[in-house]
Amino acid sequence: MDALRPPEAPREEQDVVLGPPPPVRRIVVDGTPTVVAPPAANGHSAPLAPGAIGLAAPVRRPQPSPGPKVERMRTESVTISYGEKVAVDGVSLPVRQGEVLALIGPSGCGKTTLLRSLNRLVEITPTAARAGRITLDGEDIDRMEVTALRRRVSMVFQQPNPFPMSVFDNVAYALREQGSRRPGKEALYNHVGDALVRAGLWDEVGATLDHPALRLSGGQQQRLCIARALAARPEVLLLDEPCSALDPRSTQVIEELILKLREEVAVVIVTHNMQQALRIADHVGFMYLGELVEYGPAEQVFGSPREERTREYVGGAFG
Amino acid sequence: MEAATVPAPPTSPRDSVSSWPLRDRVGYYACWAAGLTLIAVAGAIVLYMAFRGAQYFDLGMFVESPNAALDQSQSGGFRDPLIGTALLLVLSTAIAAPLGVTIAVWLTEYGRPSGLARTVESAVEVVAGTPSIVLAMFGLVFFQQQWISFLTFSSEGSNVVLGRSFIAAAAMMSLIALPLVVGATREALNAIPGHVREASYALGKTKAATIRRVLLPAARPGIGTGTALGMGRVAGDTAIVVVLLGAVMQINNGAGGSVFGLFRGLGSTLTSYVYYNSPAGEGLAPEKAYFAAFVLLLLVIVLNFVVTRIARGREQPWTR
C-alpha cells in the first residue's frame, strides 16, 4: 500500500469542534512528500489561503498591529563567516516596528548568527567576520559605540539566564550606569516597575522584588529576562528561540506578550517552531544554508511559498 | 492488580558475589577493604586525639601564654600559638584570596596572549607542587634582603635582618593557599554558561562590568570553597612557621605596640607548639601537645565542614 488511509469520520457529532482533521501525508516512494490540506470544517474559516501546507491544526493568526509600521533596522547584503565557513550569505532584510519578524529555517542555517549580528554580538566570536551594512534608524551600527547600540537593540536568549541577584537588581542592571555615580533604588523603582509591567510579570513578583531571581520558575525567569531587556527602553528586541526551554503555558504567555510588545519595539524572533512563527509573526524570513531563501508576509510564506525549498521546509520535509 | 501480572525479572547467576569469578571477587572485596581501612584510620585519628585531648582538657590553656618551664604546671597554655594561627590565617588569606581570584579571572575571561596564559598556569602548578619547606627557605632568603627589612623582625638597636615575621610567613603561606583559590575560582567561572556573559553584553555592559557584577557574584561559592581549603592548608603547615616565624614561645612584637609592629613580630602557631611540646620535639609537655593537636584538628575539620556547606549550595542555576 503506498498511501495511508485517511482517518475515519467522527462517529458522533462533537460539541466542540476543534478544527479540521489533521492533514494526511501521502508517502510516495521516490517522490517529494506532499501534504494535502484538509478541507476547512463548516463554520470555520480556513486559517490560511487555500494551498496552505504543513499545518497540523488551525493556527490563530494575530490581527495586524493598528499602529504605523516604522522601519528601524535594515541589513544590506550582510555576509558573516566563521573562518572558512560562511554562516550568513548576503542577507538583506528590513526590521520594522509594529510587527514581528520571524526567522525560520533548519538548524545551522544562520538565523541565530544573523540575529546576533544585529546587536554586534557576533563580534564576541573571535573567528567571526562580517561584510555588508546594518543600519539602525539609518545609522551604520559599526559607527556606533557597541554598548550604546546594545542598549537600543536588546536581546533575550534561548535559555532563561537571570543574573544571580534580586529580581529588582536584574531589571535595574541595564539602567545602572557603569562607574561610581549610580542612581539609587528610588530613582530606578519606576523604571523597574514599568519594565516588569510591560513584561507581564509585575502581578507575580511586584511584592517580592528583593527575592533572588533564580528562584523564579522557568517561564517567569524568561519574562524577567524580557523585562530586563526592556528596561532601558530599546528600539529593537531580539529573541533567540525564547520559548524553546519553556512549557506550553509559559510559551503562550510569552507569545501574547510579544504581540503586545510589537507596538512599541521592533521584534525579531528566531524560532524553529513554525507553528509559533505562524502564531506571532507578521513577516517571515526563511533561511537555508546561510541564504535568505524567502522573505514575505507570514500568510504568503506559509500559504503560498514562492520557493520550492520553502515549500518543502514548511511542509515538514526537512529540518 | 496490574503489578502482579508483571513477571519478575529472571535472576542472573551473577547476582550473587560468591558465584563471581575469583578475579572479580578479589577486586570487589579489595574495594570494600580499602574503604573500610580509610574509615578506620580516620576514625582512629579523630577518636584518639579526642580521647587524649579530652583527657587534658583545660579551658585555661586558651588564655594562658606558654612559659619556658620544665614543670608542666608552670609551662602555661597555648594562647600565643592560637593567636599566631589566627593571625597567619587572616594575613595569608588577605594575600591569597584577592590574588588568586584575579589570576583566575584573567585566565578564564581574558587569557591572551595564550602563551602567557599557559605560562601562568604552569607557574600556579609549580607553586602548588613546591614543598612548604622549600617555600620557607626561599622566603627566608628573600626577606633577609636589606631593602625590605621593614617587613621583618629586628631586635632593637640591631641592624641584622633576620628575615622572619608574621608578614614573611604569611606571604609564603599564601603561596600554599593560592593554587587552591585559583583552581576553585576557575572551575566556578568555567561553569557559568557563555550565554550568561552574553546576556550582560547584550544589555550594553562592558566585559569589566560583567565580571564585577555578574561573574564574580556567581562564582562566590567557588571562591569561598577555594579560600576555605587554602585556610585549612595554611593552618596545618609547620615548616614555614619554624623557618619564617621563629616559632618562639610568646608573640614577640616587632616595633612597639602597634598593629604593624605585631605583623613584624615573631610568634608561633598551634602546629609548631604541638611539634615542640611533643616527644618529637623537646617533649616537655606531651599532654598539652595532645590537647593543642586536638584543637588544631577541630579547626581544620570545621574549615572542611564549611567547604562542604558552601559547595552544597553550588549547583548551577543555569542550563547550558
Contact flag A229-B218 (C-beta cutoff 8 Å): no
| A6 compared with A60, residue with greater pLDDT | A60
In a domain, B47, yes or no: no
B191 touches chain A (CB under 8 A): no
pLDDT of residue B71: 74
- Mean pLDDT calculated for residue range A287-292: 93
The three cell numbers locating residue B103: 589570576
- The DSSP secondary-structure symbol of A126 reads T
Is A178 contained in some domain? Answer: no
Looking at per-residue confidence, does B256 or A289 come out higher? A289
- Say if A104 falls within a structural domain: yes
Provide the number of structural domains found in chain A: 1
Distance from CA of A119 to the nearest CA of B (A): 7
Quote the pLDDT of residue B148. Answer: 87
- From the list A151, A157, A178, which residue is nearest B195 (CB)? A157
pTM of the model: 0.80
Q: What grid cell was written down for A274?
A: 513554525
Domain around A151: 70-163+221-314
pLDDT at B315: 60
B202 touches chain A (CB under 8 A): yes
Give me the pLDDT at residue A58, please. Answer: 58
What's the pLDDT at A15? 46
Does A174 contact B203 at a Cβ distance shorter than 8 Å?
Answer: yes
Q: Which residue shows C-alpha cell 557597541? A: A146
Q: Give A230 to chain B, closest Cα distance, Å.
A: 10
pLDDT of residue A255: 93
Task: Collect the ranges in chain B with pLDDT lower than 70.
Answer: 1-5, 9-15, 254-257, 283, 313-316, 320
Task: Give A34-38 contacts, CB < 8 A, sequence gap 24+.
Answer: A34/A315, A35/A315, A35/A316
Q: Under an 8 A CB cutoff, do A174 and B204 touch?
A: yes
Asked if B144 and B162 touch (Cβ cutoff 8 Å), the reply is: yes
Least CB–CB distance from A157: residue in B198, B213, B214 = B198
In a domain? residue A131: yes
Nearest chain A CA: its distance from B116 CA (Å): 18
Interchain CB contact of A158 with B (< 8 Å) = yes
Q: Is residue A236 part of a domain?
A: yes
Q: Which residues contact A277 (CB under 8 A, 6 or more apart)?
A: A102, A104, A269, A271, A284, A298, A302
Backbone angles phi and psi of A301, in degrees to 5: -65, -40
List all residues of chain A from 118 to 147 with a beta carbon under 8 Å from chain B. 119, 121, 124, 146-147
Residue B42 within a domain: no
How many angstroms separate the CA of residue B118 from the nearest CA in chain A?
19
For residue A309, give the CATH number of its domain.
Answer: 3.40.50.300
Distance from CA of B318 to the nearest CA of A (A): 6
pLDDT of residue B11: 62
Task: Give the per-residue pLDDT at B286.
Answer: 83
Per the CB < 8 Å rule, is A163 touching B206? no
Q: What is the pLDDT of residue B18?
A: 84
Q: Report whether pLDDT(A104) > 80.
A: yes
pLDDT number for residue A293:
94
**Distance in angstroms (rounded) separating the CA atoms of residues A35 and A52:** 9
Name the least confident of A5-9, A63-67, A131-135, B215-219.
A5-9
Pairing relationship of beta strands A24-26 and A291-297 according to DSSP bridges: unpaired
pLDDT at A146 over 60: yes
CB atoms within 10 A of CB B280: 11
Chain B residues lying within 8 Å of A229, measured CB to CB: 202-203
User: Is B216 an interface residue toward A (CB < 8 Å)?
Assistant: no
Domain span including residue B280: 56-312
- Is any Cβ of chain A less than 8 angstroms from the Cβ of B70? no
CB nearest B202 (choices: A121, A159, A245): A121
Residues 244..273 of A with a Cβ closer than 8 Å to B: which? Answer: 245
Instruction: List, for residues A180-227, the tens digit of each pLDDT value.
Output: 556 778 888 999 999 999 898 999 999 999 999 999 999 999 999 999
CATH of the domain at B275: 1.10.3720.10
CB spacing of B193 vs A228 below 8 angstroms = no
Contact flag A151-B203 (C-beta cutoff 8 Å): yes
Q: Which of residues 198-217 of A touch B (CB under 8 A)?
A: 214
pLDDT value for A45: 37
**B185 occurs within a structural domain:** yes
- Establish if A122 belongs to a structural domain: yes
Total of domains in chain B? 1
Give CA B183 to chain center in angstroms.
13
Q: Bigger pLDDT: A68 or A257?
A: A257
Q: Is A174 on the interface with B (CB under 8 A)?
A: yes
In the prediction, which pLDDT does A93 show? Answer: 93
**Lowest pLDDT segment from A118-132, A157-171, B96-110, B300-314:** B300-314
Distance CA A228, CA A246 (A): 18
Quick check: is A129 in a domain?
Answer: yes
